[in-house]
Every structure is written in structure tokens, then in C-alpha cells.
Structure 1
Amino acid sequence: MNIDELDLDYRLLRLFLTIYDEGSVTAAANRLGVGQPTVSHGLDRLRQIVGDPLFVRSGRGITPTAHADEMAERVRVVLQDLRNLARVDGFAPHDSNQSARFVIGTNDYEVAVILPELVRIVRGCAADIRLKVLPIHGDGDVIDRLRNGQLDLAIGLHMIENVGDIAQQTLFREHMACFYDADYHDVAPDTLDRYCAVPHARVIIGNNDHSAVDDALQAIGRKRKTVLQASTFASIASLIRGTDVIASLPSRLERHVMAGFAKCAFPVEFPEYSFAQAWHVRNAASAPHKWLRGEIFKISRRL
């Protein structure tokens, strides 16, 4: 008969440990809820695989061999490891014995609007939770980095394309507003003519030169004069302060990087847009990841 140590499986190891603990084949069969012949057959198979009798007669009972004594504790560890593999553990952020590491891909709008509250929540937890925040550059970049594990989670504009292995959850909707330094404007640029007459700054993330605002203006036969382009919202705030340059930005920045600027309605028909969090489906059932996504969702509901 060909014997392979890989023939050992969970059932055989559990059977061995039950016989070891009960000190009886009959008692082991009762505990396992099977017939004695089944236990005897399994023990014979174990003896063939291990190459040791494992249990020998001693009076009316049986006693483990030296090799069985050596095996017992190792088998307990193996069985527990197998149980752990089949169990999705919970995550307790207030347990100081737990830890989690997260890499979040996002840009400075989300850094300003969402992440400060997340950091405060994390710092209030007893668990050792650490965050790493990296910039993202469009849907393709997000999808690739979620797939290869460079990112655990991405927060940004809701991706237009539905991708089978990438899950998304809408967080909130946003609309555009105009921000300007009131000391350099006698009237707000809240009409289309005044809006198009003043100099503009815009934020373009990534390597493209495309702007949805310019597309909306072109659609109605108008255009604006862009005198400044930057890759972050925070830099726009620093650069246009003390000038007549205005910026069309997401409205929630009013309380963050654009604090201190005047604000008026965006005078161009422009649809609201959604922000979402995205993750790879391999992390869908992970308890730490579910906790993180849940906290971000709760933060977004309070915005």
C-alpha cells in the first residue's frame, strides 16, 4: 500500500486527539458520535501513515506510545490553526492586543474633508491602528493598485465603470462653488458674464489637461481664462489668496482649505457628483477592513 504523510487530514488528526484524551477507542467513538469500527479503521490508517502503533494495550485500556505523546500537543496546535483558517475573526478597535495596518489611496479633497475625523477616531482606539495615505491618479490607477495590494482602500470620485472584482460604496454627493478673495472683488462672480470675465485657477489631478468645468462652458459657447493650474486644492488656496483669481471647487472645502475665502453659487449648469470608497473583493469579509469602511461611511453621513 502506498502511504503518503499528506494523507493526514483534519478528521484523522481529530480522531487521534480524541482517542488520546479519552484513553479509549470506545469512549472516543461515543464522543465523536460514530461507531467503534469507524474509529478503529481510522486509527489503523493513522498507524500506517505515521509508522507507529500510537496506542498499545495496558490492562483493560490503552496507553499512548512515546511518539503519540510527542504528537499530541503538536496536533492540538495544527487543529487550532485549521479552525482559525476557517473562521473570520472579529476586530475590536478598543482591544489593545489587536492591530491593523491600512493603506488608503485618496487626494487632498478627501484628506481635508474625511480623513481628519478618521484620524481622531483611530487615535481614540486602544488597538494599534496605523494609516498610510497615498495619492491616486484616476480610475485605472485605483483599480490596478487595489488589485495588486498596493492599496487597501481608495476614496475618490465614484468610478464610472463597474469592475467585477472592485466593490464601491457611495459616500456622499457634492456640488461646485466659486471661491474668491473678497478684498479683490467688489461683486461676487455669481453670474455667467462676471464669472467668465475674471481670471481663474483650476485643479487638475494626474497627467491630463482635461477639465469638466471647461467642457460645461464650451457646451454653452462660453470659456474662461485660466491663469493658474495646480495639482492640489491646498495649493490653490495658498496661491490665489491676496489676488483677484477665483477657483471653482467642491463646496465642502469651505470649512477646510478654503476657509476665509468668500463663496458664491457656481453660475454654470453643472451636475452634482458622487464620492465613493472602493476596495478589492478579497478584503470584503476582513473584519478590520469592514470596521474601517464602516467608520468612513459614518463620517460621510455626518458631513
Structure 2
Amino acid sequence: MAAEFDFNLIRTFVLLYEMRSVTAAADALGVSQPTVSYGLGKLRKRLGDELFVRGPGGLVPSSEAERLYPPLRTAIDQMDVTISAATEFDPSGPVSFSIGLSDLGEVNSLPLVLAELSARAPAATLQVHAIDIETAPDELTRGKVDAIVTSPVLDSVRLSRMPLFTEGYVGMVAADHPRLRHDNPTAAELRTERHVVVDGTSGHAAAWQALRRYGVEPDIAVRVTRFATLPYVVQDSEFMAIVPERVAHTVVRSHPVRTFALAWPIQPVEVTAYTRRTPGRSAAQTWFLDVIRTALQDLP
């Protein structure tokens, strides 16, 4: 009994460290907030350290908590691997999942995830959330969203990261663009065009960075906030846009636009799925992560 109690205390500590919230830790453990607070009190007494103090953004770990977290995190991981091997999720009944996607993800990745989810769990429902990069780690660790698929790096020890695919870039113009009519325009030809770029935290800053690097930034005519806006702007203008290749293949089928190879080398971007780490991740969330992996990972 003592060993089981100690393990529960370790799990409580790890969740408090990662979630920085008694409420969120209690939700993840399926217990009341007073139970978590009682466990924290036991830990403080046993270890002779405050461990966490309240700060403006939630609980702030002490230096002793910082020291303890890595080995205790490893111990929890090893235990959860053993437990999860004997735990299965049954997708046959009604179940609901949530996923965070950018506007690009809703256009390109969502149909693939939906197809895989429907094939495995016909009664499942899916809620799609817009991504806010600043709050994404908290939304994952607090259970507000089951998974996030994005290209910006979410650097948090509280999250599990699974690379899915890398994506390059192509140029896009109206189908009847008067000048860029072939598949391989030169850098000189591209430099004479006016451009539409996407600002913000989309994770695809490489496009406008390339324009700056190759001296085209003064020719930026329009700045928008969403990649999904680009085909509508481009199709009715003489402007040019640099877009992720997968999305370009999708919009060409539904908009009067055409794509072409870029004369400028642009570093491909990596798209990644993020979930909260165990403990706290349910068997259903682990199953849903595999749905995302199967639908998106290593696609051509």
C-alpha cells in the first residue's frame, strides 16, 4: 500500500510540474482539488521543500522541484509504458476528440484525419480549434484539446512531439497571369512581380524571409493574416504568392490559379503533432494520436 501511495505522490508531483495548476492536475488524475493539495502537502513534508509557489502564470517550481522532475518524469514514463501495454481503448462506441489546426491544416490535413478517424471509429465526433501558439501548450496540458498539428515549434517539457512530414514551397499566380506563364520562371522574372505574404505566427515565415533575403521585400503589395486568403487574392490580381506545396496542390483544384517552381531555395518546414505527455494522456488520446500519425505521417 505504501508503494502505491508513493507512486501516486510522484504522479501528482509530475502533473503539478507540467501543468502548473492544482485544478488541471486534479482533472488529469480524476480526483478533487483538495486531494491534490493534500498530496502536495505530503510531498512538501516528506521532501522538506516548498516545491511550488504561486506566481502570476500559475505554480512556479522551486530549484529542488527542477532537480527532481527529470528522474521522476522518467520513472513515470517507464511505469506508464508498462500499464498502457495492458490498456486498450475501444473506439466502437460514441467518443469525441478535439484537434488544433491552422487554417492551412483545416484545408489540407483535416480531410485526411477525418477519413482515417471515420474508418476506425464511425461514431466518433471531432471538434476543430484554431491554434493560438501562445496558449497551445496550456490548452494541451489542461485537456482543452487532445492534439495540435502545427509547424511552429512548441518548446515545452509538458508536451510530446511527433514529426509528421516536411513541406516545401512553390509560387502561385492567377491562371491567366500575363507574365508568369511557364513552370520555371527565373529569379529575375520573380523579382519584378508584386507579392502577397502572410504575417503572424503561421509557422511559414520562410516565405517573406526569402523575399527579404533576395531583395524583394519592397515589392510586397499585400499582407494578410491567413494562408487560406491567398488564392482569393491571387486569382483576381496580378500578384504572386509563395505557398506551402501541399496546400497549393489543393487550391489549384478549386481556384483559377497555377503554381510553379521557385528560383529561390527556401528551407522546407516540418509539421508536427503535439499532445500532452503521460501521465495525463488518456488511452483514447493515445489512440487518436495514432489516427493522426497514420493519416499524415510521411505522406509524399
| TM-score bracket relative to the smaller structure | 0.5 to 0.7
1:118 is aligned, of 107, 113, 118, to 113
Residues 63-142 of structure 1: pairs in structure 2 closer than 5 A: 89-93=87-91, 95=92, 98-126=93-121, 128-138=123-133, 140-142=134-136
Q: State how far apart, in whole Å, the 2-side matches of 1:285 and 1:147 are.
A: 9
Is the counterpart of residue 238 in structure 1 residue 232 in structure 2? Answer: yes
TM-score normalized by the length of structure 1: 0.62
Q: CA deviation at 1:263?
A: 1.0
Q: CA deviation at 1:285?
A: 5.3
Q: State how far apart, in whole Å, the 1-side matches of 2:119 and 2:166 are.
A: 28
Q: State how far apart, in whole Å, the 2-side matches of 1:221 and 1:236 are.
A: 21
What is the identity, as a one-letter code, of the residue corresponding to 1:231? T
- Match of 2:163, SS? strand
* Closer, same or farther: CA 194–224 of 1 in aligned 2, 3 Å: farther
- Match of 1:183, SS? coil
- Match of 1:266, SS? coil
Q: CA deviation at 1:171?
A: 0.2
**1:217 corresponds to which residue?**
211
Q: CA deviation at 1:284?
A: 7.0
What is the identity, as a one-letter code, of the residue corresponding to 2:291? E
* Closer, same or farther: CA 123–146 of 1 in aligned 2, 3 Å: same
Is the counterpart of residue 171 in structure 1 residue 193 in structure 2? Answer: no
* Closer, same or farther: CA 147–286 of 1 in aligned 2, 3 Å: closer
**1:150 corresponds to which residue?**
144
Q: CA deviation at 1:241?
A: 0.9
Output one character per residue of 1:88-133: Cα deviation in whole Å (capped at 9) or x when no partner: 641233x2xx232222111121112211122223334455311111
**1:302 corresponds to which residue?**
299
Would you say how many aligned residue pairs link Structure 1 and Structure 2?
A: 214
1:203 is aligned, of 191, 198, 202, to 198
Q: CA deviation at 1:271?
A: 0.9
CA contact (8 A) 1:237 1:257 kept: yes
* Closer, same or farther: CA 135–185 of 1 in aligned 2, 3 Å: same
Q: CA deviation at 1:168?
A: 0.6
What is the identity, as a one-letter code, of the residue corresponding to 2:211? L
Q: CA deviation at 1:184?
A: 1.9
Query: More deviation in 162-171 or 275-284?
Result: 275-284
Q: State how far apart, in whole Å, the 2-side matches of 1:268 and 1:207 are.
A: 21
Higher RCO (CA-CA < 8 Å; seq separation 6+): 2
TM-score normalized by the length of structure 2: 0.62
Q: State how far apart, in whole Å, the 1-side matches of 2:99 and 2:146 are.
A: 6
Q: CA deviation at 1:157?
A: 0.4
Q: State how far apart, in whole Å, the 2-side matches of 1:179 and 1:263 are.
A: 4
Q: State how far apart, in whole Å, the 1-side matches of 2:289 and 2:144 are.
A: 17
Q: State how far apart, in whole Å, the 2-side matches of 1:302 and 1:222 are.
A: 32
Output one character per residue of 1:247-298: Cα deviation in whole Å (capped at 9) or x when no partner: 1000111331243421111222211110000011146752221221112111
Residues 264-283 of structure 1: pairs in structure 2 closer than 5 A: 264-282=260-278
* Closer, same or farther: CA 141–151 of 1 in aligned 2, 3 Å: same
CA contact (8 A) 2:99 2:146 kept: yes
Q: State how far apart, in whole Å, the 1-side matches of 2:214 and 2:177 are.
A: 28
What is the identity, as a one-letter code, of the residue corresponding to 2:261? A
Name segments (4+ residues, structure 1) moved above 4 Å: none
Output one character per residue of 1:119-162: Cα deviation in whole Å (capped at 9) or x when no partner: 22333445531111111133x33212212322211000051x64
Percentage identity across paired residues of the two chains: 19
- Could you tell me which runs of 5 or more consecutive residues in structure 1 were left unpaired when the two chains were aligned: 1-8, 10-85
What is the identity, as a one-letter code, of the residue corresponding to 1:295? V
CA contact (8 A) 1:92 1:127 kept: no
Q: State how far apart, in whole Å, the 2-side matches of 1:236 and 1:229 are.
A: 10
CA contact (8 A) 1:114 1:296 kept: no
CA contact (8 A) 1:158 1:170 kept: no
